[in-house]
Amino acid sequence: IHSLENIKEIILKEVDQYRALFEGNNEGFLTHWPKKTILKGWLVEYRDGGSVRPHIHDYGWLSGSIYINVPKTEKKNEGSLFVSMREQDYEADSTAHQETILNVATGDICLFPASLYHCSTPFASEESRVVLAFDIVPIEEKIEV
């Protein structure tokens, strides 16, 4: 339990730094940040050839991932994080302007709006790819009448 609290503290500190980085930005995602939130997280393990299809987290505000183990691969962009403004799979020869491939490594943390489509690219390795995924989720405040 103690180590879970440490991980939670690390994540929340990173979220604070993320918000500070964009302080003064007028994007609604940042200016309408919820007053109350909770942190929800889960572990994801992929094996040889594994990947995740493009998706968003419609209940979250900010999504993130901590890369616990990212196997070394032979090919460019294998096991990477792919983000896009639209629901699409990663294509190695894509020339779209509203997408980004992030070559992640063990120990990295990535934060992005939960409304951003994201997926992981397939990889070939005997090792597992292990990720702690999480969301900052708004809590609705009850209005006393």
pLDDT digits (tens, 9 = 90+) for 32-61: 999 999 999 999 998 887 777 788 889 999
The full 3-state SS of 42-106, as one line of letters, equals: EEEEECCCCCEEEECCCCCCEEEEEEEECCCCCCCCCCCEEEECCCCCCCCCCCCCCEEEECCCC
State the Cα–Cα distance between residues 145 and 141, nearest whole angstrom.
13
Other beta carbons less than 10 A from residue 141's beta carbon: 9
Beta carbons of 119 and 88 less than 8 angstroms apart: no
Query: What is the structure's pLDDT at 92?
Result: 47
Residues of the chain with pLDDT under 70: 1-2, 85-98, 141-145
The predicted pLDDT at position 53 comes to 76
5: nearest Cα among 44, 41, 31, 54: 41
Residue owning tokens 């009850």: 142
Whole-number Å distance between alpha carbons of 70 and 131: 8
Q: What is the pTM of this model?
A: 0.84
Place of tokens 């990720």: 131
